[in-house]
C-alpha cells in the first residue's frame, strides 16, 4: 500500500430525516447516505478516504460540504454544480430499532457526476474503489458507476460493491435486480444483507442465495445477518463470523460502519486470501456494526478510532 493512498468512494450525498422514536411523528436531520457514511466512517477509524459526489449552491449542500470537511473526508475530486439539490429520505423506526426507508425527496435526480467529470488522478492512489446501488437507478449515474469500475480495473484497484438496495427508487424489481447483479461480476468484494441476498437471487435461504452467487466468481462475498453476524465467502468457501450481542437502539448506520471496518482492514492489510485473514477482517467490521447499532442516527453513530483501536491490526 502506498502511504499516500486512500479509499475512493462514489455516490450521492443524502440528508436523512430520522424518526426520533418508534412513533415516527418527529424527525431529526442528519447528513447521510450510504456512500457518505462509509467515507466518513473510514476517516473516523483512522484511514484516508476520498469522496466523489456532486453538491450545489444551497444551504443543504453547504451543510454537507462543511460536515465532510469536519469528518476529514477528502473532496478534491467532488463536483460542484450550482443547480444540484441534495436528496433526502425519511427513515422510520420500528419498535425493535430497525429502520424503514419511507419517502425520498429528490429535486434534481438527473443532475449527477458524469463519466467525463471523473479524474484519472483520483484512481492513481486509490487502494479500493467502493460503490453501491444508491444511484444506479438514474441513467447518468449508472454510466458513471460503470466508468468508475472500468477505471479502477485499469489501475488495478480493488473493487468493492455494497448492494445497499432501496427498492422505492427503481422502476421495477426486475430492473433493480438485473442492474445490480451485472456489477457483481466485476467486484472483488460484494456486501449484501440477508434480505438483499434473497431479493437479488430470488432464493429463500442464505445457503441457496450464496450458491446462486457462486457462478459470478466473486472472490469475497459478505452476507450480513444483523445480530447473527456475517456469512463470509472466500472463493466459494463459506464461514460464519459471529458478532457480539448488543441492545439495538437504531440500526440505520450499522451496515455502513461494518463496511467502513472491512474496507479499512483491506486498505492496510490487502484483500484477504485465507480464511484466517477474512475472519479477522469481518470480525472487525462486525464489531463496528454492533457499536453503531447502540446509538441513534447513522453518521452520528459511527465509531471513532479511539473506540476501536484495540481491535486494529496494521
Concatenating the DSSP letter of every residue in 179-191 gives: HHHHHHTT-SEEE
Find the DSSP H helices in 185-274: 194-201, 206-214, 254-269
The per-residue pLDDT of the chain, averaged, comes to 91
CA dihedral 183, 186, 191, 197 (to 10 degrees): 50
> Rounded CA gap, 294 and 250, in Å?
7
What is residue 53's predicted lDDT score, i.e. its pLDDT?
A: 97
Q: Are strands 230-234 and 158-162 parallel, antiparallel or unpaired?
A: unpaired
pTM value > 0.85 = yes
Write the pLDDT tens digit of every residue in 7-51: 999 999 988 888 888 898 998 878 888 899 999 999 999 999 999
Is 75 a residue whose pLDDT tops 70? yes
Is 108 a residue whose pLDDT tops 60? yes
What is residue 2's predicted lDDT score, i.e. its pLDDT?
A: 60
Q: Which of 28-37, 98-107, 264-273, 305-314 has the lowest mean pLDDT?
A: 305-314
6-304 is a CATH 3.40.50.800 domain: no
Over range 41-62, report the average pLDDT.
96
DSSP state of 250: -
Amino acid at each position: 500500500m502506498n502511504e499516500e493512498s486512500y479509499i475512493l468512494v462514489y455516490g450521492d450525498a443524502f440528508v436523512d430525516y430520522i424518526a426520533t422514536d418508534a412513533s415516527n411523528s418527529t424527525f431529526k436531520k442528519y447528513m447521510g447516505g450510504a456512500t457518505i457514511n462509509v467515507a466518513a466512517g473510514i476517516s473516523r477509524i483512522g484511514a484516508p478516504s476520498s469522496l466523489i459526489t456532486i453538491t450545489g449552491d444551497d444551504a443543504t449542500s453547504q451543510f454537507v460540504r462543511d460536515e465532510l470537511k469536519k469528518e476529514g473526508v477528502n473532496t478534491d475530486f467532488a463536483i460542484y454544480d450550482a443547480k444540484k439539490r441534495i436528496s433526502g429520505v425519511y427513515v422510520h423506526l420500528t419498535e425493535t430499532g430497525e429502520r424503514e426507508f419511507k419517502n425520498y425527496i429528490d429535486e434534481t435526480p438527473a443532475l449527477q457526476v458524469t463519466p467525463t467529470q471523473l479524474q484519472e488522478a483520483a484512481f492513481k492512489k486509490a487502494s479500493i474503489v467502493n460503490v453501491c446501488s444508491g444511484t444506479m437507478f438514474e441513467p447518468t449515474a449508472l454510466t458513471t458507476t460503470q466508468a468508475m469500475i472500468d477505471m479502477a480495473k485499469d489501475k488495478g484497484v480493488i473493487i468493492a460493491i455494497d448492494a445497499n438496495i432501496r427498492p422505492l427508487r427503481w422502476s421495477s424489481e426486475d430492473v433493480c435486480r438485473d442492474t445490480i447483479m451485472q456489477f457483481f461480476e466485476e467486484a472483488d468484494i460484494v456486501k449484501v444483507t440477508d434480505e438483499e441476498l434473497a431479493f437479488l437471487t430470488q432464493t429463500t435461504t442464505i445457503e441457496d442465495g450464496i450458491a446462486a452467487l457462486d457462478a459470478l466468481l466473486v472472490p469475497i462475498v459478505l452476507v450480513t445477518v444483523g445480530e447473527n453476524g456475517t456469512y463470509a465467502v472466500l472463493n466459494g468457501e463459506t464461514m460464519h463470523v459471529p458478532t457480539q450481542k448488543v441492545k439495538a437502539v437504531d440500526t440505520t448506520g450499522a451496515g455502513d460502519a461494518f463496511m467502513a471496518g472491512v474496507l479499512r482492514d483491506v486498505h492496510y492489510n490487502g484483500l484477504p486470501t485465507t480464511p484466517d485473514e477474512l475472519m479477522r477482517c469481518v470480525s472487525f467490521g462486525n464489531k463496528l456494526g454492533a457499536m453503531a447499532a447502540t446509538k441513534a442516527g447513522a453518521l452520528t453513530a459511527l465509531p471513532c478510532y479511539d473506540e476501536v483501536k484495540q481491535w486494529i491490526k496494521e
